[in-house]
């Protein structure tokens, strides 16, 4: 039933996006493709953090894995695009499984630290093995418009189609997963691991599964971004990407897939809008490159003050005030899930570890 509802909505959204891709200019199509690629990665991250309760600052690293996997498959094996995208997700998921096994033993800030390490260290592998990964200048990826669309069809529009389709499919899958038994089990684990374990849930396995799914999303998002920008290079997967993805998930509303869309939108459009603004107001080079960063920080602070549960949380609150809502949705304090409970959980971890593992 849920599946049908989700699918129906996806088809409607897909049609709207299809029409829009014709209305938009090339550059907006390009940005639409970028947003969609980020939606995939942020969607996975928001499920990981908001639903399964594991904080990761390493999502950018998994995007890098997906991006490089996709580029290498296209360059050396010339696989068709859909296979490349699928394979990138699978390869990244495999990496996620390895990290996930370690992650399932770590909590709160320790988990954040470990994933942070991944985000910092992984891109330098590309510099270490130049022959394979092209070093600092990275690899160029070429995607062509398929023949049946004709030669005059814009590449950016085709990329927008591919990315939006991938994003919609991912969102439908994630939405169903979150509402399935697995999603409920994740939430149980997130809220109280001891209770979840006592209820017969395999906590470690559930956590690894969340990591794998999140990594698969990141890998797919990374591969999509690689074909959109036609390039993968270490500079594209720095720590600031990982932080940016985390920011997008938090700004949008942790655990909310619609929030992932809002967050990705901010991630792409705000810096581009601010750079334009700075340039058109005649700011000097150095100033115009710092203004967007400063203003982005400001947007972040304002959104967090105004909507502590993210944009989607804020919208829900506004709508909830208008329409009759369940008691849980009404309170002024929305679900600001992890941050508070991280603080609570972290120090007490030692005792819990014994309770949950085995």
Partner 1 sequence: MNTERRVSGARRLALAPVAGLAAVAMLVAACGSNASSGKSGSGSGGSGGSGALTASAPGITSTTITIGSHQPLTGIAAPGYDEIAPASNAYFQYLNAHGGIYGRKIDYKYLNDQYNPSLTASVVRQLVLKDNVYAIFDGLGTPTHLAVAPFLNSEKVPDVFVASGCECWNDPAKLPETFGWQLDYVREGKILGQYVKDHFKGKKIGFFYQDDEFGQDGVKGLDDEIPAKQIVAKEAYDPTNTTIGPLVAKLKAAGAQVVVSFSVPAFTALLKLNALGLSFNPQLVVSDVGSDPITLAGLLQAFAAKAHHKVDGNLLTQGIITDGYLPSLGSASNSWIQLFTKIHNQYIPKLPMDGNVEFGMAVAYTFAEAMFKAGRNPTRQDLISAISGGLSQGVSVAPYAYSASDHNGITGAYMAMISGGKLVPTGPVLVTDTSPTGAITPFTTTPPAAPSTGIPPH
Residues 301-340, interacting with partner 1 (CB under 8 A) = 312, 316, 326, 328-329, 331, 333-335, 337, 340
Considering beta carbons, is residue 97 or 169 the nearer one to partner 1? Answer: 169
Angle between helix axes 181-191 and 155-178 (nearest 10 degrees) is: 70
| Interacting residue with partner 1 among 66, 236, 310, 314 (CB under 8 A) | 236
Mark the segment that binds partner 1 (CB under 8 A) among 11-19, 78-86, 91-99, 297-305: 11-19
Cβ neighbours of 201 (radius 10 Å): 18
End-to-end Cα distance, the chain:
37
Considering beta carbons, is residue 124 or 358 the nearer one to partner 1? Answer: 124
Considering beta carbons, is residue 4 or 306 the nearer one to partner 1? Answer: 4
Considering beta carbons, is residue 98 or 127 the nearer one to partner 1? Answer: 127
* Paired residues of 140 in beta bridges: 231
- CA 33 to chain CA centroid, nearest Å: 14
Cβ 176 to partner 1 shortest distance, Å: 9
Give Cβ neighbours of residue 296 (< 8 Å, ≥ 6 apart).
Answer: 270, 271, 274
Give Cβ neighbours of residue 158 (< 8 Å, ≥ 6 apart).
Answer: 143, 145, 146, 149
Say whether residue 190 binds partner 1 (CB under 8 A).
Answer: yes
**Owner of token pair 């570890």:** 353
- State how far the Cα of 181 lies from the Cα of 269, in Å rounded to an integer: 36
Q: What part of residues 338-357 is at the interface with partner 1 (CB under 8 A)? A: 340-341
Binding track, positions 240-269, relative to partner 1; x by CB under 8 A: ---------------xxxxxxxx-xx---x
Integer-rounded Cα radius of gyration of the chain = 20
Backbone angles phi and psi of 252, in degrees to 5: -70, -35
CB of 238 closer than 8 Å to CB of 120: no
Say whether residue 10 binds partner 1 (CB under 8 A).
Answer: yes
| Interacting residue with partner 1 among 2, 83, 298, 349 (CB under 8 A) | 2
CB of 102 closer than 8 Å to CB of 114: yes
Considering beta carbons, is residue 99 or 210 the nearer one to partner 1? Answer: 210
Cβ 267 to partner 1 shortest distance, Å: 11
Cβ 170 to partner 1 shortest distance, Å: 10
Q: How many residues are present in the chain?
A: 358
Number of residues forming the site for partner 1 (CB under 8 A): 93
- State how far the Cα of 60 lies from the Cα of 41, in Å rounded to an integer: 9
| Interacting residue with partner 1 among 80, 113, 146, 235 (CB under 8 A) | 235
Binding track, positions 35-54, relative to partner 1; x by CB under 8 A: xx--x---x------xx---
Which tokens in the block code for residue 116? 């942070």
- State how far the Cα of 170 lies from the Cα of 224, in Å rounded to an integer: 12
Cβ 97 to partner 1 shortest distance, Å: 25
Considering beta carbons, is residue 102 or 299 the nearer one to partner 1? Answer: 299
Say whether residue 26 binds partner 1 (CB under 8 A).
Answer: yes
**Closest to 169 in 3D by CA, of 221, 130, 134:** 221
| Interacting residue with partner 1 among 32, 93, 103, 209 (CB under 8 A) | 32
* Paired residues of 139 in beta bridges: 232
Considering beta carbons, is residue 6 or 57 the nearer one to partner 1? Answer: 6
Q: What part of residues 107-166 is at the interface with partner 1 (CB under 8 A)? A: 124, 127, 130, 135-138, 140, 142, 155-156, 164
């Amino acid at each position: 039933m849920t599946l049908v509802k989700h699918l129906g909505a996806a088809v409607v959204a897909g049609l709207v996006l299809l029409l829009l891709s014709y209305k938009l200019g090339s550059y907006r199509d390009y940005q639409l493709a970028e947003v969609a690629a980020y939606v995939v990665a942020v969607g996975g991250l928001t499920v990981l953090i908001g639903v399964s309760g594991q904080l990761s600052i390493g999502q950018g690293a998994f995007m890098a894995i997906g991006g490089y996997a996709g580029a290498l498959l296209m360059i050396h094996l010339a696989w068709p695009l859909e296979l490349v995208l699928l394979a990138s997700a699978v390869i990244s998921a495999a990496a996620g499984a390895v990290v996930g096994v370690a992650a399932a033993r770590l909590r709160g800030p320790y988990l954040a630290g470990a994933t942070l390490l991944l985000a910092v260290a992984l891109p330098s592998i590309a510099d270490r093995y130049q022959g394979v990964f092209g070093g600092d200048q990275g690899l160029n990826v070429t995607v062509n418009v398929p023949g049946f669309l004709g030669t005059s069809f814009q590449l950016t529009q085709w990329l927008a189609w591919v990315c939006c389709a991938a994003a919609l499919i991912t969102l439908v899958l994630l939405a169903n997963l979150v509402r399935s038994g697995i999603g409920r089990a994740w939430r149980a684990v997130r809220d109280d691991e001891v209770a979840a374990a006592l209820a017969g849930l395999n906590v470690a396995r559930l956590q690894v599964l969340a990591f794998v799914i999140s990594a698969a999303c990141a890998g797919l998002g990374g591969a999509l971004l690689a074909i959109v920008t036609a390039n993968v290079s270490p500079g594209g997967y720095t720590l600031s990407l990982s932080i940016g993805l985390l920011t997008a998930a938090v700004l949008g509303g942790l655990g909310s897939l619609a929030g992932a869309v809002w967050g990705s939108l901010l991630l792409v459009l705000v810096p581009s809008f601010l750079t334009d603004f700075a340039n058109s107001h005649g700011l000097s080079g150095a100033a115009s490159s710092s203004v967007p960063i400063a203003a982005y920080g400001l947007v972040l602070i304002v959104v967090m003050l105004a909507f502590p549960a993210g944009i989607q949380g804020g919208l829900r609150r506004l709508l909830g005030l208008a329409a009759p809502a369940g008691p849980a949705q009404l309170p002024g304090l929305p679900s600001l899930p992890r941050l508070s409970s991280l603080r609570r959980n972290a120090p007490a971890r030692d005792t819990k570890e014994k309770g949950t593992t085995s």
